[in-house]
Amino acid sequence: MTPSPQRLRVLLAVVRAGGVVGAASALRLTPQAVSQQLGLLESELGVSLFDRTRRRLTATSLAQDLADHAERIEAELVAAQRTAAAATDRATGIVRLAAFQSAIRWLVVEALPLVRTRQPGVTPVVVEMWGAGVLAALRAREVDLVIDDRDESDPPPHSATIAARLLLREPYFIVATPVVARRLRALRQLAAQPWITAPKGTACHAALARLATGARFEPRIAHICLELPTVLALVRAGEGVAIVPALAMADAVAVEASRIAGLGMRHLYLMQRTTSRGTEPAVDAVAEAVLASRR
């Protein structure tokens, strides 16, 4: 019996997500519906596709082979979309764009009207998201386009299924109250300051680690905050000094910013899924609008 293309798509989502719940989120279905589709596919084929003796589903070799076929089908559908978009000069579809707060405020907001003007058939949906989970969400098709920030020491992943484009290179700044800023004339004076830092794994945390290593001091951490407006509010309150990227400087009221050798750069990347036949035209339309908004 010929496997249903729809059920192969469900199988592929389960293999990618490593389970039913993640696949359900990616497909916008209930976990029960996903399990039902898997059961019907197994009934069609007369075999089990997953080892269910462990806590998580483990794909059999047949399931992996069928998922490979499903990926090729997916690539051909993308090729069909590209052919139609090239012939009509029009893309359509919903594109879920994941980004962090400052990127939404200063890049995405400007890109949205560009999308609607250039490609009215494309509907962008903004999802505020950041951190290590964004790439997993992209791979699992929970989102379609990601703005990811990385320190210059942390390149984007090399992957056959993820296309990454450099969106922005921006410098870091040290911010402090005006009174404190006047005293920061040497690296040894930075060592004496309390620091407001970002969590481990973030670009700003990497920048502080690089600065501290180069200047041979151990930062005295006063506060750990992820959102840059919160960091700037604590700096204004005299709670310490901090490293912030240029994109956050629009909110840097009542503080002074300094560039010091060794701070480095932050890189922002646009990432989207890709196949052997290219990328989805609707996602390309949103990506091009975001790239245009940086100018």
pLDDT tens-digit profile of 75-127? 888 888 888 888 888 999 999 999 998 899 989 999 999 999 999 999 999 99
Same domain, 96 and 126: yes
State the virtual CA torsion across 27, 32, 36, 39 in degrees, nearest 10.
100
Token digits of residue 115: 């999308």
- 281 with 81: CB under 8 angstroms? yes
- pTM score of the predicted model: 0.80
Same domain, 205 and 255: yes
Average pLDDT, the chain: 88
Same domain, 105 and 37: no
Same domain, 237 and 174: yes
Cα distance between residue 263 and residue 252, in whole Å:
18
Q: How many domains does the chain have?
A: 3
- 34 with 20: CB under 8 angstroms? yes
How large a percentage of the chain has pLDDT more than 70?
A: 97
- What would the mean pLDDT of 264-278 be, rounded to a whole number? 93
Same domain, 185 and 244: yes
- What would the mean pLDDT of 234-261 be, rounded to a whole number? 88
84, 119, 140 - which closes a domain = 84
Nearest to 141 by CA among 63, 231, 260, 29: 29
What own/partner pairs with CB < 8 Å and gap ≥ 24 does 290-294 have? 290/97, 290/107, 290/108, 290/111, 290/145, 290/147, 290/167, 291/165, 291/167, 292/111, 292/114, 293/107, 293/108, 293/110, 293/111, 293/114, 294/107, 294/167, 294/168
Q: How would you label 263-281 residue by residue, b for 16+ Cβ within 10 Å and e otherwise? A: bbbbbbbbbbbbbebebbb
15, 49, 84 - which closes a domain = 84
Domain that includes residue 114, residue range: 91-169+268-293
Percent helix, percent strand, percent coil in the chain, to nearest 5: 45, 25, 30
Q: At 55, which amino acid appears?
A: R
Q: How far is CA 218 from the centre of its chain?
A: 30
What per-residue confidence (pLDDT) applies to 231?
93
What per-residue confidence (pLDDT) applies to 159?
83
Same domain, 258 and 175: yes
Which CATH number do you get for residue 235? 3.40.190.10
